[in-house]
């Protein structure tokens, strides 16, 4: 990734290091520390003069003066504003031409794909459990996972999206028992209604097992039969999964999400036994009353809280499946890295999984993949508790999305009654899904956040509608000009007017920041940095657009400002795409 602030930082460090070398001979070498400056004082600040002067017993201010004189002669810095402040800090304010050069350089080769080239990263997200509708708790994994996978791909990784569906859990014992007892013909159920029926039957089954021991025993028996490949139970299980997948697909379609693989837990059911044997023979897992446990004895908490990889009845579990999955992803997908996007409540599970994998792979002398748990907080209701319906149930994702579209539609119809009904519908859909996604992504993922329709659908503030509107506004401007030039060919040229107004300069500086923001998101896998940046950019654009006329100040000024608009459009559209949000040309 070239020409970002980070890059500039390194270049400046080099320059100042070399400058210090040509002033005098010192006992101690100069180690300049270049930082992004408080924007009131400059773009960058050079620190380190003070300590350098002290170590060499020189006057820092005088040393700073000398450096400054030299710096003014260095090519890239000749027309930048350089200023000494305090006991020897040097502030650098970039000139318009330097900003234009960097913008040209960067936007004409806007290519981040070097960053992660050659890396295979498996990302495990969404991953709901079957036999139930997805609810609001599943929202964040879909949204955050989708954005992260897009960013990784943008940066050149070979990304494999794997939806690790929970389709082999103990819930099936109860459910199959309830299905058989109620004599429901699962094959005759209507696809749309099937999942509701299964949820109802499951609740019925749970109530029965709580009332009467015999039902509990029957449920256990059905589970055993299923696990041993009983034909009838497998067929019922398949019908339940089919209905679940059908409902999931609809959500993914709405959310604009697709996967490369959907390998549910059941896919690993014949791969778990060998893992247990292996971990036992390697001395990593220990047997205890029939159960198989992994202790991490040098871990403060896990020394007394072992990782259970086989239950005392011999059944494998979530942990065993995850161990088998790691191996499969390494052997078959050749994964260098695996990213798991789940709720923060699974932190212990993943820490124990990662520690176990580390010991296991080390014992076998196999290269260890990088394992990352990208966890997130809870979606809260207005009362500050986990969001629920009035009757206390968790909100179905489908209902949530439908409500969002309905609300957005009312806004669109009010704001833009002249549009065709189909257009209004499509715009409402984009706004609603965008708003739901953006509200989630704009929060630090490890925090909880309060779900609020009014806030997320507002056209003011850090919201999707605000950004979508900024984009539509630039499109409207370009339409007015009827400009069809090829974006690739547009660049700032020598004859172009320099940025002169405060708004132009502020906007240009913000644009140059884009690559380092991407870097930041990549380092931490936290998309909210990108949201904060896009909001800042759109706000700066708005100030620019309100205070600077595009037309009427001559050709040169027109071209320069138009170019700024196009760069802003490019960054906003690219940024929203990386968040998984569709954009509109008209709103
Ligand atoms: N099905 C799990 C749940 O709903 C999430 C699975 C996450 N992925 C994994 N490999 N464990 O909580």
Please tell me the predicted confidence (pLDDT) of residue 2. 42
Looking at the CA of residue 325, tell me the nearest atom of ligand 1. 10
The minimum-distance atom of ligand 1 relative to the CA of 342 is 7
Atom 11 in ligand 1: which residue has the minimum CA distance?
A: 322
pLDDT for 491 beyond 70: no
Give Rg (Cα) of the chain: 29
Residue nearest to atom 5 of ligand 1 (CA): 127
CB 334 within 8 A of CB 120: yes
Instruction: Give the pLDDT band of residue 164 (cuts 50, 70, 90).
Output: very high
Task: Delimit the CATH 3.40.50.620 region(s) of the chain.
Answer: 120-166+264-376
pLDDT in tens, 536-577: 999 999 999 999 999 889 888 988 998 899 899 999 999 999
Is the pLDDT at 367 greater than 90? The verdict is: yes
Mean pLDDT for the chain? 92
Phi-psi region of 289 (alpha: psi -120 to 50; beta: other; left: phi over 0): left
Gap from CA of 439 to ligand 1 centroid (Å): 23
Residues of CATH 3.30.1360.70 domain(s) within the chain? 5-94
pLDDT at residue 482 in the model = 67
- The preferred substitution site among 136, 166, 376 for testing ligand 1, maximizing ligand atoms within 8 Å of CB, is 166
**Range 120-166+264-376 classified under CATH 1.20.1440.130:** no
pLDDT category of residue 377 using cuts at 50, 70 and 90: very high
Mean pLDDT of 361-390: 94
Which residue puts its alpha carbon closest to atom 7 of ligand 1? 127
Residues of the chain with CATH 1.10.730.10: 381-587
From the CA of 341, how far away is ligand 1's center (Å)? 8
Pocket of ligand 1 (CB under 6 A): 124, 127-129, 164, 166, 322, 325, 340, 342
Q: How does residue 169 score in pLDDT terms, banded at 50, 70 and 90?
A: confident
Task: Please determine, for residue 354, whether its predicted confidence score (pLDDT) is greater than 60.
Answer: yes
Residue nearest to atom 4 of ligand 1 (CA): 128
**How many whole angstroms from 124 Cα to the centroid of ligand 1?**
8
The residues, any chain, with a CB within 8 Å of residue 109's CB and separated by 6 or more, are 2
How far apart CA 199 and CA 190 sit, in angstroms, is 14
**Which pair of structure tokens corresponds to residue 312?**
């005392």
Which residues, 6 or more positions from 429, have their beta carbon under 8 angstroms from its beta carbon? 405, 408
Question: What global pTM score does this model have?
Answer: 0.92
Point out the ligand 1 atom lying closest to the alpha carbon of residue 166: 1
pLDDT of 108 above 70: no
pLDDT reported for residue 463: 98
User: Phi then psi for 164, rounded to 5 degrees?
Assistant: -90, 80
- Confidence check: pLDDT of 204 > 70: yes
What is the reported pLDDT for 411? 97
Q: What whole-number percentage of the chain has pLDDT above 70?
A: 96
Helix or strand holding residue 219 (H, E): helix 213-227
pLDDT at 285 over 90: yes
Ligand 1 atom closest to the CA of 138, numbered from 1: 4
Residue 547's pLDDT is what? 97
Q: Looking at residues 463-467, what average pLDDT do you find?
A: 98
CA 166 – ligand 1 centroid, Å: 7
User: Which positions ≥6 away from 509 have C-beta within 8 Å?
Assistant: 39, 43, 94, 99
Q: How far apart are the CA of 127 and the centre of ligand 1, in A?
A: 5
Backbone angles phi, psi at 34, to 5 degrees: -105, 125
Q: Which of the four pLDDT bands, split at 50, 70 and 90, describes residue 76?
A: confident
Give residue 259's pLDDT.
98
Which of 133-142, 327-336, 384-393, 564-573 reaches the highest mean pLDDT? 327-336
Give me ligand 1 centre to Cα 343, in Å: 9
Residue identifier of the C-alpha nearest atom 3 of ligand 1? 128
Packing angle, helices 213-227 and 231-255, rounded to 10: 80
> Rounded CA gap, 574 and 567, in Å?
10
Q: How far is the CA of 129 from the centre of ligand 1 (A)?
A: 8
Substitution site in 125, 126, 127 for ligand 1 pocket (most atoms within 8 Å of beta carbon): 127
> Could you tell me the distance, in angstroms and rounded to a whole number, from the CA of residue 452 to the centre of ligand 1?
27
Residue 315 or 325, more confident: 325
Task: Determine the topology of domain 5-94 in CATH.
Answer: Gyrase A; domain 2 (3.30.1360)
CA of 19 to the centre of ligand 1 (A): 55
Cα of 163 to ligand 1 centre, how many Å? 9
Which atom of ligand 1 has the smallest separation from the CA of 349?
11
- The secondary structure element, H or E, covering residue 335 is none
- Hey, whose CA ends up nearest to atom 12 of ligand 1? 128
Residue percentage of the chain with pLDDT more than 90? 71
How far, in Å, from the CA of 395 to the mean position of ligand 1? Answer: 19
DSSP-derived secondary structure for 385-436: SBP--TTSPPPBHHHHHHHHHHHHHHHHHHH-TTS-HHHHHHHHHHHHHHHH
Give the CATH architecture of domain 381-587. Orthogonal Bundle (1.10)
């Amino acid at each position: 990734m070239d020409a970002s602030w980070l890059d500039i930082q390194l270049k400046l460090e080099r320059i100042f290091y070399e400058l210090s070398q040509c002033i005098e001979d010192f006992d101690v070498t100069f180690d300049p520390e270049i930082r992004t400056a408080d924007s009131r004082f400059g773009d960058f600040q050079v620190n380190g003069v003070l300590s350098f002067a002290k170590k060499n017993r020189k006057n820092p201010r005088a040393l700073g003066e000398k450096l400054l004189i030299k710096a003014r002669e260095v090519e890239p810095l000749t027309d930048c504003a350089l200023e000494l402040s305090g006991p020897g800090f040097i502030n650098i304010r970039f000139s318009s031409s330097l900003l234009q050069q960097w913008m040209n350089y960067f936007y004409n080769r806007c290519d981040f794909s070097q960053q992660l080239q050659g890396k295979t990263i498996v990302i495990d997200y969404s991953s709901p459990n079957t036999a139930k509708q997805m609810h609001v708790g599943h929202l964040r994994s879909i949204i955050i996972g989708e954005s992260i996978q897009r960013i990784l791909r943008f940066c050149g990784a070979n990304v494999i999206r794997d939806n690790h569906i929970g389709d082999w859990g103990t819930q099936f014992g109860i459910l199959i028992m309830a299905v058989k007892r109620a004599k429901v013909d699962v094959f005759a159920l209507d696809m749309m209604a099937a999942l509701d029926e299964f949820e109802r039957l499951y609740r019925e089954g749970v109530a029965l097992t709580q009332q009467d021991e015999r039902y509990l025993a029957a449920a256990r028996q059905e589970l055993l039969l299923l696990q041993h490949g009983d034909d009838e139970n497998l067929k019922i299980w398949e019908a339940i999964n089919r209905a679940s997948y059908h409902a999931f697909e609809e959500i993914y379609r709405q959310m604009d999400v697709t996967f490369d693989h959907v390998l549910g837990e059941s896919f690993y059911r014949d791969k778990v036994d060998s893992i247990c044997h292996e971990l036992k023979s390697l001395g990593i897992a220990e047997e205890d009353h029939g159960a198989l446990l992994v202790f991490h004895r040098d871990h403060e908490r896990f020394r007394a809280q072992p990782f259970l990889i086989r239950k005392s009845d011999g059944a494998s579990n979530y942990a065993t499946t995850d161990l088998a999955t790691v191996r499969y992803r390494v052997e078959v997908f050749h994964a260098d890295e695996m990213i798991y996007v789940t709720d923060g409540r699974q932190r212990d599970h993943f820490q124990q999984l990662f520690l176990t994998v580390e010991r296991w792979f080390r014992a076998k002398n196999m290269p260890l993949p990088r394992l990352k748990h990208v966890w997130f907080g809870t979606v809260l209701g207005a009362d500050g508790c986990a969001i629920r319906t009035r009757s206390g149930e968790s909100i179905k994702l489908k209902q949530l999305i439908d409500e969002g579209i309905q609300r957005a539609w009312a806004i669109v119809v009010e704001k833009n009654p002249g549009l065709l009904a189909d257009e209004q519908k499509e715009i409402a859909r984009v706004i609603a899904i965008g708003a739901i996604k953006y509200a989630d992504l704009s929060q630090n993922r490890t925090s909880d956040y309060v779900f609020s329709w009014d806030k997320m659908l507002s056209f003011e503030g850090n919201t999707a509608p605000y950004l979508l509107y900024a984009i539509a506004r630039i499109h409207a401007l370009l339409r007015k000009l009827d400009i069809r030039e090829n974006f690739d060919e547009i660049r700032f040229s020598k004859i172009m007017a320099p940025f002169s107004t405060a708004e132009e300069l502020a906007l240009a500086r913000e644009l140059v920041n884009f690559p380092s923001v991407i870097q930041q998101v990549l380092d931490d896998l936290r998309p909210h940095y990108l949201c904060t940046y896009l909001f800042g950019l759109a706000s700066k654009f708005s100030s620019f657009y309100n205070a600077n006329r595009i037309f009427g100040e001559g050709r040169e000024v027109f071209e320069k400002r138009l170019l700024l608009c196009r760069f802003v459009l490019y960054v906003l559209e690219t940024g929203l795409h990386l968040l998984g949000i569709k954009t509109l040309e008209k709103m």
